[in-house]
Amino acid sequence: MSITDIITGGLVGSIITLIIKAIIDACSSHIAYKRELRKQVFHRKTDVVERAMSWYQEAVDMYSLFQMAVQEYDGSSNPVTVEKIQYVSTQTAKLMQETSAKLNPIYLYYDFTDIDKKYNVAKSAQLINEAFVLIGQIQQHIVPIPATNERELEIQRLWFDKLKQTLDIAASAMNNQKSAIVEIQQRLRTEYQKYMK
């Protein structure tokens, strides 16, 4: 074996070692990049889920409070019950304004179409919105001054009956919303439980 063969063999061996090291480094960098990307997505996803879960829980609480107030409502202008209904209406309106910031980002990571269809979420949301509009219109016609004659009393009774029907429709539609929310929350919790093991 000549010196040239030894030098050539050493050179080829060094080049092969450098190529293998470059391939290993490239693979390691790619793996590290993917790991970092998954970590960032996980953190972002967790942030989105936490905000959505908070929104969902507030919605369930408001829907439950509204349903309790509707059950208490007997067609009279009981100030406690009326105040509860007005409070829930105001809080629900605020909650709906927060939807785009707190709730919409979750749909980037999750698909709840099956749950939406199962509980007919779009239709029940529409019924709730229409009911709140109607409640506002009815409240404009109900005079807080006691009726002084039989005709005024009958008109007030009709308005309160219509209000009660509208409240019942909204409360019933809220059952669908609550059921969908509870199922979504459970799905999210189940997914995150696998990270706790």
pLDDT tens digits for range 31-46: 888 889 888 888 898 9
pLDDT for res 123:
93
d(CA 95, CA 133): 16
Residue 163, H or E segment = helix 150-193
pLDDT for res 111:
94
Q: How confident is the model at residue 143 (pLDDT cuts 50, 70, 90)?
A: low
pLDDT for res 174:
92
Among candidate residues 83, 51, 54, the one with its CA nearest the CA of residue 66 = 83
pLDDT for res 2:
76
**Using one digit for the tens of pLDDT, what is the confidence trace for 146-178?**
667 788 778 777 877 888 888 888 899 999 999
* 178 residue type, one letter: K
Question: What's the pTM?
Answer: 0.74
Distant-in-sequence, close-in-space partners of 141: CB < 8 Å, separation ≥ 6: 159
Distant-in-sequence, close-in-space partners of 55: CB < 8 Å, separation ≥ 6: 95, 98, 99, 102, 103
d(CA 87, CA 105): 27
pLDDT for res 197:
67
- The rounded mean pLDDT for the chain is 84
pLDDT for res 88:
84
Please report, for the chain, how many H helices and E strands are present, in that order.
7, 0
Six token digits for residue 24: 């290993």
pLDDT for res 145:
62
- The pLDDT > 70 percentage for the chain reads 93
Distant-in-sequence, close-in-space partners of 131: CB < 8 Å, separation ≥ 6: 166, 167, 169, 170, 173
Please tell me what DSSP assigns to residue 146. Answer: P
Centroid of chain to Cα 56: 5
d(CA 41, CA 111): 16
